[in-house]
Amino acid sequence: MAKVIGSVVSTQKDPSLVGKKLMIVQPIDSNKNPIRSEEIAADSVNAGIGEYVLIVKGAGARKADAKNKDNNRVRDVNDCSIVGIIDRFDK
């Protein structure tokens, strides 16, 4: 889980990141307290700044958005993706 705290604009990047919105996320625990360092995540669900989101890392992040327009697999350098927006926390 993480909170979106900003965005990044990059005009020069790996081709697999072209067209993807890059967001700054702060990983959090279930009490919404920050853990670890901030990260950059590719946004596949159109999250906004201030929203709490679900993130995946590693192979899961690459598979979250790893197809191009022709439905073919493409090389993806992404290591962190936003895959969901959290509506509420129930503990």
Average pLDDT of the residues of the chain = 86
**Could you tell me the pLDDT band of residue 41, with boundaries at 50, 70 and 90?**
very high
Q: Which tokens sit at 75?
A: 């090389």
> Residues with Cβ < 8 Å from 58, sequence gap 6 or more?
79
**Could you tell me the pLDDT band of residue 61, with boundaries at 50, 70 and 90?**
low
pTM attached to this predicted model: 0.82
Q: Which tokens sit at 25?
A: 């996320």
Q: What pLDDT, on a 0 to 100 scale, did the predictor assign at position 68? A: 47
* Higher-scoring residue by pLDDT: 68, 89: 89
Q: Residue 34: which of 24, 44, 42 has the closest Cα? A: 24
The DSSP code for 37 is -
Q: Residue 37: which of 51, 25, 55 has the closest Cα? A: 25
